[in-house]
Amino acid sequence: MGEVLQRAVFFRELAPANGVAPEWIELLPAGPEIKGRDGRKYRLDNPQDLVDEFKAQGLKLPIDWEHGTQIKGERGERSPAAGWIDELEVRNGAVWGHVTWNEDGAEDIRRKSYRYLSPAFMHDKPGNIRRLVSAGLVHRPNLHLTALNRAEGNDSMTPELRKALGLSESATDQDAVQAAEKLRSDLQIAMHKAESPSLDKFVPRADHDLALQRAAHAEEALAATRRQTLEKEVDAELEAASKAGKITPATVAYHKAQCMVEGGLERFREFVKAAPTIAPASGLDGKSPEQVATNKALTADERDVCKRMGISEEEFVKARD
């Protein structure tokens, strides 16, 4: 399938913002379908193929005036170059070229004597673009491509910088400045919020610490009160169990320790209900231990003698001993 030379189909504006001809220019827009102002359509399914083919040829592509390479050059007439494309690369599906401008070409662009660029390329009959052959400075555009001042902005920014600022490939230096200003403004707002946080969402650290201390003290006081209450209940239960002969004096301390742990008092109450009486009544009946000891030391007959003789039981015991 033969190839056809097509020229002056795609145009881009050459309008440098800083008065300097750009080093990188967009030669073909992203495909796969590319449509000119005149309605003609072409396909660019794999732009990297054009880059690889350019590298394989090892030749620089000329940028001329009004496609003189194809028009005048084919007639053997002189067709000087305005500049030379010495490198191609793919950016987001579009084909870009690095240009080394000749003095006359750079001057025409600086003066805006020529404002647009159009590539010449080979394509097959179905319209698939196969390779670039040149580009020309022209007056009448056929397709909107990236403006030159925007391309120049791309060249001054690294891909890493564009990515860090969240900018697209076509972003200008002014876009970068605005993005940086917004970042600085956002940072200042964030710092202000950090220094003066909203009280409905944040509290000062001193107030926070004080509230924690008060809560801790309140919990300690509540725990102490609960322990005192529990201890009183335990003592009452132990006393009742002792009087009932369910526990002996030797085991009181043990049972109290068990009652003070969580759930211990309820377990002790259940134990007392089921426990047999293992110790007789103390026999104190409100008497002092000395009195009880005296009573136990005398028999019934001895106590009757004390009454008849009119002496106390203590005196009797002393006289007896």
d(CA 7, CA 122): 9
Question: What pLDDT is stored for residue 199 in this prediction?
Answer: 59
d(CA 106, CA 18): 13
- Joined together, the tokens standing for residue 229 give 């209450």
DSSP state of 128: B
Question: What pLDDT is stored for residue 103 in this prediction?
Answer: 92
| Domain extents in the chain | 3-156, 218-281, 283-321
Question: What pLDDT is stored for residue 86 in this prediction?
Answer: 93
Beta-sheet strands, E only, within 125-273 = 129-138
Question: What pLDDT is stored for residue 151 in this prediction?
Answer: 35
Per-residue confidence of the chain (321 residues) as pLDDT tens digits? 455 565 544 555 565 555 678 889 888 888 888 887 777 888 889 999 999 999 998 999 999 988 888 788 778 888 889 999 999 999 999 999 999 999 999 898 888 888 888 888 888 888 888 888 888 888 875 555 543 333 333 445 566 677 777 777 666 666 777 777 788 777 777 776 666 666 566 667 777 677 778 777 777 877 788 888 888 888 998 889 888 888 888 888 888 888 888 888 888 888 888 888 875 555 555 555 555 555 556 777 778 777 777 878 887 777 766
- Joined together, the tokens standing for residue 293 give 């000891």
d(CA 207, CA 201): 14
Residues 44 and 129 sit within 8 Å (Cβ to Cβ): yes
Chain CA centroid to CA 186, Å: 17
89: β partners: 96
Residue with tokens 């919020």: 193
Residues 7 and 120 sit within 8 Å (Cβ to Cβ): yes
User: Backbone phi, then psi, for 269, in 5-degree steps?
Assistant: -60, -40
CA distances from 159 to 98, 162, 172, 182 (A): 16, 5, 13, 19
Q: What is the dihedral of CA 203, 204, 206, 210, to 10 degrees?
A: -10
Question: What pLDDT is stored for residue 79 in this prediction?
Answer: 86
Q: Count CB-CB contacts under 10 A for residue 261.
A: 10
**End-to-end Cα separation, the chain, in angstroms:** 145
